[in-house]
Amino acid sequence: MSGNGNFSQVGNDYKKQNERFLGVEFGSTRIKAVLIDWYGTPIVSGSHDWENRLENGFWTYSLNDIWAGLQDCYCDLQGEYRQKFGEPLIKVDGIGFSAMMHGYMAFDENNRLLVPFRTWRNTTTGPAAEKLSELFNFNIPQRWSIAHLYQAILNQEPHVKEIRYFTTLAGYIHWQLTGKKVLGIGDASGMFPIDSVENDFDARMLKQFDQLVGQKGYPWKLKELLPEVLLAGAEAGVLTPEGAKLLDPSGQLQAGIPICPPEGDAGTGMVATNSVAERTCNVSAGTSVFAMVVLEKVLEKQHPEIDMVTTPTGKPVAMVHANTCTSDLNSWVNLFDEVAKTFGNEIEPSKLYETLFNKAMEGDADCGGLLAYNLFSGEPVVHLDSGTPLFVRTPESHFTLANFMRAQLFSAVATLKIGMDLLLEEEKVRLDQILGHGGLFKTKGVGQRIMAAAINVPVSVMETAGEGGPWGMALLSSYQVNGKQGQSLESYLSEQIFTNAKCLTEKPAPEDVTGFNEYMIHYKLGLSVESEAGKIIK
């Protein structure tokens, strides 16, 4: 007995030291890959910067953008691995792919992309989203895949009759690398409503949709076009030889590696912050900002500002999503960088952000009469179809650098606050604390303090928050391989990954909460100006 036990322990120790799991996430501005060990500790990472483009009225990335970006990202990680270990990376124990949720990738019977990828950022599906929300008695945001499909039907786009499959970006990547048309339930919940009892697309609503478009004569039923829905931990295929070459054109990576169900960036954010249990919430604040609140019970009524999605294990989640967060803030920081360089000063980007963010903490609680609107695109939370970044002040305002930066930070989370107020004040949802991750929280304490002021709930950031979504995706891959029989994802994360996690927590400061609320009074009144600007300034 003892001999077997010792052998088992030695084998387990070897496994812990040598297991490797790869997580890759396609964000809006960066593709990032993280390789972790059995404990969830990051070993090496890689990245590739990319940007969407507005083409023919749609925000999109080309297929070449997707594959060239993935290959460059993996090559970057592979180079780091070789430099650190002196050998090529030829095998890992599991892989997972995630991406920004929603959007529309439609294919014909020959697997040909019928129209360019339409991303979550598009706000061109208003009539479809409104009609479907009324039909289902369930909020269908403009970003959702089903809204894109139905809008294409309303627009009488000829490609619709040729569709044989449509999916999200993560689902597309997974399909190409494994041959499996599947999707993790969290990402699937941003395509079409989920029945959280059956853990599948809602059968009643599928039937309603088919009846809605029945007279069009399409040669398909909606269910036939959608990917198979899988829970975290389920078998989802392996890396095929063709997939291995797509991921690693150098030919070093071996085929046959298990790939876990693909997920959306919302799900990986929940995993990365250990926010998959009831009464937990995480906020991802980067190019966009969204809060994921795991509910104790279903909301009392439908809110157009709130999406109903799920955790990677199918639990209902209220999602408040704003299309823009740090984009305008980043533009202003870049402008200050240009000013510094004009005077011959080179400032490290991280130092520049840190200095300007901390300067904001010296400003007046309400930003001294300054207002900023950071909207780069339409924003459904505030019912705007287009966006125009604006900075506004009165002649009597206290125009200082500190107040200017504070107004930019307030603007980054203002639309999120509007949606969260509906949950906390109207629906009486209870939260113990919020866990934050993403670029807004990189400067220690500042993003947390701003978010705590906006939501009036303590905000914590873990030391691992900087790894974000790709780390969360790698953890889902590890869970698929290492999760014990019947072990829940919540249990796995708490017992194996986050046991000794360190957090920095900021409680809401009363003066900050009061100041933010005062700022929001003027912000909401000024939305009519933002609306007119979007119509007039082109």
Cα 409 to Cα 289: distance, rounded to the nearest angstrom: 12
Nearest Cα to 186, choosing from 93, 286, 307? 307
Q: Beta strands 228-230 and 182-184: pairing type?
A: parallel
pLDDT number for residue 182? 98
Residue 259 bridge partners (DSSP): 95
Segment among 167-176, 181-190, 306-315, 394-403 with least mean pLDDT = 306-315
Q: Terminus-to-terminus CA distance in the chain, angstroms?
A: 77
Average pLDDT, the chain: 92
Judged against a pLDDT cut of 60, whether residue 516 lies above it is answered with: yes
State the DSSP code for 305: T
User: Residue 314: which residues within 8 A CB-CB, separation 6 or more?
Assistant: 185, 194, 196, 199, 231
Q: List the structure tokens of 399.
A: 């125009």
Q: Render pLDDT for 51-74 as a digit per residue (tens, 0 to 9).
A: 999 999 999 999 999 999 999 999
pLDDT at 1: 27
Structure-model confidence comparison of residues 271 and 432, the more confident one: 271
Least confident window among 203-207, 265-269, 393-397: 265-269
Residues of the chain by 3-state class (helix, strand, coil), percent to 5: 45, 20, 35
Give the pLDDT confidence score for residue 17 in this predicted structure. 72
Residue 331 scores a pLDDT above 70: yes
* pLDDT at 8 exceeding the cut of 50: no
> Can you tell me the distance from the alpha carbon of 243 to that of 57, in angstroms, rounded to the nearest whole number?
32
Averaged over 203-223, what is the pLDDT? 97
DSSP letter, residue 469 = H
Say what angle helices 510-525 and 527-536 make with each other, to 10 degrees. Answer: 50
Dist. CA 359–CA 401, nearest whole Å:
7
**422 against 257, higher pLDDT:** 257
Angle at 379 between CA 467 and CA 393, to 5 degrees: 95
Poorest-pLDDT segment among 440-449, 472-481, 496-505 = 496-505
Alpha-carbon distance of 261 to 142, in angstroms, equals 25
For 218-362, strand residue ranges (E) read 228-230, 263-264, 281-285, 289-294, 307-310, 316-322
pLDDT tier at 10, thresholds 50, 70, 90? very low
The 3-state secondary structure of 48-78 reads: EECCCEEECCEEECCHHHHHHHHHHHHHHHH
Of the listed ranges 84-93, 343-352, 409-418, 466-475, the least confidently predicted one is 466-475
The residue-averaged pLDDT of 379-399 equals: 91
Specify the DSSP element, H or E, that contains 26. strand 21-26
What pLDDT score was predicted for residue 464? 61
Q: What percent of the chain has pLDDT over 70?
A: 96
- The DSSP call for residue 424 is I
| pLDDT for the residue numbered 465 | 55
Range 82-94 burial, b when 16+ CB lie within 10 A, else e: eeeeeeebeebbb
